[in-house]
């Protein structure tokens, strides 16, 4: 699990030494000859799934014909970051990952609201994996999602869950059994 181990090392370094303003994960990965942050997260997830001997299909197609999304936006399918088949605890589920690239103009945070909207239409539950957790709490959107998933102290972020679009949608999806949320660093234990 070369990439996942590298991610854990980067996480440990950033947690003990906050990122300088010019540090970016993308630049760090580029120096090592690796992909951008999003692709790097997907490769970490693939490594974890393989290490757990899961029946895993990266880049899985999800068809959503006949829904509002297909009617109004003309989309009848999406490609997820992965699909776990017949997991011993969770059954079949899709995987979506959002990796924060740090001090870059990446779109992981901006895409969270859109992801929640389309997750309602998936035919299987979705595991949302949030990477770059040393910066997750600096973004309102990820705070709302983590609070709804009980990954933060609920009292600290109760307002986020009860009074925001993202918090309410996340809470509804979790309660309906359509969404689970996990930090990338905790994926091995989650699976």
Altogether, the residues listed in the chain come to a count of 191
The string of pLDDT tens digits covering residues 119-134 is 887 888 999 998 877 6
Residue labelled with tokens 């997830």: 45
CA-based Rg of the chain, rounded to a whole angstrom? 16
Q: Which CA distances in Å does 168 have to 132, 145, 172? A: 23, 9, 6
Cα distance between residue 97 and residue 182, in whole Å: 10
Q: Which CA distances in Å does 120 have to 68, 116, 142, 172, 179? A: 11, 7, 18, 10, 9
Cα distance between residue 60 and residue 7, in whole Å: 24
Q: Could you give the residue ranges of the DSSP H alpha helices within 75-191?
A: 108-119, 133-136, 140-148, 154-162, 165-175, 187-190
The string of pLDDT tens digits covering residues 132-157 is 776 666 667 777 788 788 887 655 56
pLDDT at 153: 65
The string of pLDDT tens digits covering residues 29-62 is 778 887 677 888 898 999 999 999 999 999 888 7
The pTM of the full predicted model, rounded to 2 decimals, is 0.84
Cα distance between residue 36 and residue 3, in whole Å: 12
Q: Which residue has the higher pLDDT, 10 or 15?
A: 10
Q: What proportion of the chain, given as a percentage, has pLDDT over 90?
A: 26
For the chain, the straight-line distance linking the first and the last C-alpha, in angstroms and rounded, comes to 15
In the predicted model, what is the mean pLDDT of the chain?
A: 79
């Amino acid at each position: 699990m070369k990439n996942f181990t590298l991610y854990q090392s980067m996480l440990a370094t950033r947690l003990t030494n906050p990122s300088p303003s010019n540090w970016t994960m993308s630049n760090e990965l580029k120096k090592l000859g690796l992909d951008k942050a999003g692709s790097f997260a997907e490769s970490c997830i693939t490594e974890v799934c393989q290490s757990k001997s899961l029946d895993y299909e990266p880049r899985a197609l999800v068809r959503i014909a006949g829904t509002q999304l297909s009617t109004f936006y003309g989309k009848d399918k999406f490609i997820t970051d992965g699909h776990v088949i017949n997991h011993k605890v969770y059954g079949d589920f899709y995987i979506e990952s959002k990796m924060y690239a740090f001090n870059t103009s990446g779109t992981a945070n901006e895409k969270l609201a859109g992801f929640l909207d389309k997750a309602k239409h998936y035919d299987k539950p979705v595991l949302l994996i949030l990477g770059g957790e040393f910066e997750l709490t600096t973004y309102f959107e990820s705070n709302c999602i983590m609070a709804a998933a009980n990954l933060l102290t609920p009292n600290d972020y109760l307002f986020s869950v009860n009074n925001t679009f993202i918090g309410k949608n996340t809470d509804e999806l979790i309660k309906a059994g359509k969404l689970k949320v996990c930090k990338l660093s905790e994926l091995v234990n989650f699976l």
